[in-house]
Amino acid sequence: MRTRARKKHGQAVLLTDYFASRIDWKNQSDPLLLQVIPSENEKAGIGVPDFCGEKKFMAADFLIHRYPDRAVLLASDQCFCLCRFCFRKGMWGRPEKVITDKDIETAIKYLKAHPGVRELVISGGDPLTLSNRKIKKIINSFDSLSQLNLIRVASRALTFFPGRIDAGLLSLFKKSRKQFWFVSHFNHPDELGRETLAAVKRLRLAGIPMLNQTVLLKGINDRAELLIDLFSRLAGAGVKPYYLFQCDPAPGASHFSTDLEKSLEIYEELCRYSGVIAPRFAFELPGYGKVSPSPGWNIVKTKRGYRVTSPRKKNYFYPL
Ligand code: SF4
């Protein structure tokens, strides 16, 4: 993999050769270009820091424990490309932080003390920026935890660097005593190139179940028709569309957030399609966590944002 680092509008840009070759550079509205090249809007830095309130759920240096049944291991803060809408973009530019053996031991100790955690999500940054040697160390360490039923790996490698899904990595997943699930992150049908689909096939042939999460991005994929095309192609490749997320208004990323009302309209349209194709829609509600709207929830638009009432009649606020 060759990576190109440069700056635009004073912001750091990181691109793999593979992803750069997929961009139509003559088209300033190219949906792949808009995901990785900064705009003037980003410079303004408008948004809410730590919108999801993750900091208060940091159980250890590299471990987030927010929901009772699962925990997230932030194995590395490095990524193949920098997505301009990323809610963790506040980490960019800090010295590299990669999990050490001691951090892994601390995480295991914490999980042992919390046996209700049955699922580990290995995330980042992008955990697949780590070497196979490091990933082997992580897998071997968590293999010993009998309370874990499954391990999810969340990565954008299929989009940015499909060659990363190599024989060595697949063999690590296959040899593990845990069931691995791979969670990809595709936002637009143009991301599904030949190399990417070949890498999806390698994962499937290795027996890894696959899910996809998509972020709803203003001006990039905020059309039901386009999303159905993406989800239908993914399902056809054996990847189950799992979540469609509202884009969190992180500082310098809020220009990608669609109005919640519009997101709900798109979701309503998606719900007309088969359950194999249509993912769940979810948004982060400050003070509550991830919400997938269902009949028990009441969402009312006000001047400053949305008043959201939970099925237990508790009120929350989602800013515009
Ligand atoms: S790969 Fe994930 S963590 Fe990295 S910049 Fe993109 S969205 Fe953020």
Task: Output the residue whose Cα is nearest ligand 1's atom 7.
Answer: 86
Confirm whether 261 is domain-assigned: yes
Confirm whether 131 is domain-assigned: yes
How many domains, in total, are found in the chain? 1
Task: Output the residue whose Cα is nearest ligand 1's atom 8.
Answer: 86
User: What is the number of the ligand 1 atom nearest to the C-alpha of 80?
Assistant: 1
Ligand 1: centre distance to CA 89 (Å): 8
Domain with residue 157: its CATH number is 3.20.20.70
Nearest-angstrom CA–CA distance, 260 and 255: 13
H or E stretch at 176: none
Confirm whether 280 is domain-assigned: yes
Confirm whether 109 is domain-assigned: yes
The alpha carbon dihedral of 6, 8, 9, 13 has a sign of: negative
Nearest-angstrom CA–CA distance, 134 and 127: 10
Confirm whether 34 is domain-assigned: no
Q: What is 215-259 written as a DSSP string? A: EE-TTTT--HHHHHHHHHHHHHTT-EEEEEEEPP--TTTGGGPPP
Structural domain containing residue 207? 44-294
Q: What is the β-pairing status of strands 3-8 and 70-76?
A: unpaired
Single pTM value for the model = 0.94
Confirm whether 19 is domain-assigned: no
Confirm whether 7 is domain-assigned: no
3-state secondary structure of 190: helix
Ligand 1: centre distance to CA 88 (Å): 7
User: What is the number of the ligand 1 atom nearest to the C-alpha of 125?
Assistant: 3
Confirm whether 36 is domain-assigned: no
Q: What is the radius of gyration, based on Cα positions, of the chain?
A: 19
Secondary structure letter of residue 96 according to DSSP: P
Per-residue pLDDT of the chain (320 residues; tens, 9 = 90+): 666 677 777 788 999 999 999 999 999 999 999 999 999 988 878 888 888 778 889 999 899 999 999 999 999 999 999 999 999 888 787 778 889 999 999 999 999 999 999 999 999 899 999 999 999 999 999 999 999 999 999 999 999 999 999 999 999 999 999 999 999 999 999 999 999 999 999 999 999 999 999 999 999 999 999 999 999 999 999 999 999 999 999 999 999 999 999 999 999 999 999 999 999 999 999 888 889 988 889 999 998 899 999 988 999 999 88
